[in-house]
Structure 1
């Protein structure tokens, strides 16, 4: 971008923003403010013939801004570089990467170094990697040291995920031959199993060996071992065809027993067995419970005068009803008169205390023989509630 020098009027690309917010060329800038070590010499001394920019601060920022956080990067650079080095690097990066000279703001105050660093980092993040110049460091001792506390954990996680992905791919490549061999062996085993099944289907199943009942009865008298191998009545594939039958095994375990059919006398119970059973029955006594009948209750029939000291309870105890939902002006006399006219029954009536004054409730007392008449809903007006009082 070409600008005009405010002193000599030169219009060229060498005119840049200098101290005092003035656009001056290199010559006018040296006349006004003089040269300094922080300026780094002329334009040719900062940029080599191959376009490489020698600046340790910019080299560190470009290479670490994707690894470290912005706050950590700015803090490291502010602790390592001076105000003049930061301002010089800021002018350089704005001249090479920014076409808007109005964005180059000269910071003042105590946070001048921090604000200049933030301006540089923000600009470098906006520029594409292809358009960034090549920044190199001549003195590596000027670069800030970085330890494990300055490393971004998110970057490590990304690298760890990529490493795991590569290891998984290597495992797949190493395991593939073994999986192929296993699949081939499995196929061969399946073929062999199918061939064995076809051979088994072609063989004739041997008949079951029937054992005589008398031999089993003789063997039952002898105690066999606690643990013995199960005897199979069917011939298996692995069994030798010349093995002995179940009868042979029985005879070998009981050699002294002769297969003799029990006679009729053996089957019938003997006299000794009968006597034994009778003696056993005599040893026990059968206990039988007899039901005890209780005598019937006694009810008195004697009649005494009313002045007697003892009296019986009335045979007809009182039967009480609770009736409610009457008008508040209803009286007990009206209830007694109503029941007498409708049921021809004389009752006792008592008005109860209600929770609200919007209705009236009563307690009526009669005998059990008249309870069904009073319980009849046909004698009461619609909406009246009648139930037994407990």
Structure 2
């Protein structure tokens, strides 16, 4: 009973959904803190916790387990570089680019952003990067900027030689990149988060929303919207894309980036520059919203059915557009109808899984991702979605196996 009280307090303070990491993990964190405090009774520990802000911070540190590395989900950084070169330079000459990384953990993401901007051609004097985290320990590691081999994963590590120096204690980041990042201790779930700060042109907030309770998720999305300049870009994690379906954010079509744009005027008047994405991945024009059907049974209109018949590519684009408009039931029905005629389409199963996850049907989503993997065992997107879903459900063992499988695939590339 006392643990449930602590879990409720954690939700109030940092927005944590206990189910997202598992009650057993929270229990172990509490037991570690009780041992460190030489307290044998959990009720006594709760009393101590409520009186001590230092103990709250220590408990939060014990619960947070940072898992990050340089250029994690590298498509997001490739998109950032592309955006700077094709859109920022032509439209914002002389302006300082403001970027926010939250949570920044031990700094790998923020420094990856800095390196990407340098590679894009921006001078370090034309960039301001704020990196925020709730963990003081993580921030100390980030400010030290010395990393071990675990922070360098994948096969493309040319940046390591360019920006790091090998020392006895690890890999030391060069001063040029280090000086581009300003680290801040703050709590994204707090109502006072970055109060009074100047808006940012780009915000990275990846793999955090999945750990929040529903109320904090919705509140945080509104906070992120306020923190962005009109037309600013938001980058989220794979598992969080569905959370933005019913918001003002406009999805940017760039493979694997999961990027969204805050409308400059209205959601239907602003388009992402055609130069920003490759010829094969252009942003589609915004379609008019499809009216809700009065009947409880979802049907697909004739015009949409005709579009689906054109080709698999047209089907996927149409279904994605409908899902982005928040018409999840219709997108779900579209996928089901298409798969009844094309049962071997792995891409359709991946899209169906994303829609089902956005609808809160996690187990149905897992089944769809597994079907995609059965059809294409090396389908990386399906594997990543399933791994993140299992992480979100607290199934650490299954998620770990999937991540190892993904890493083995990446090493072979």
TM-score computed with the length of structure 1 as normaliser: 0.16
* Structure number having the greater helix percentage: 2
Decide which structure has the larger Cα Rg and report it.
1
TM-score, normalized by length of structure 2? 0.15
User: Which is bigger in relative contact order (C-alpha 8 A, separation at least 6)?
Assistant: 2
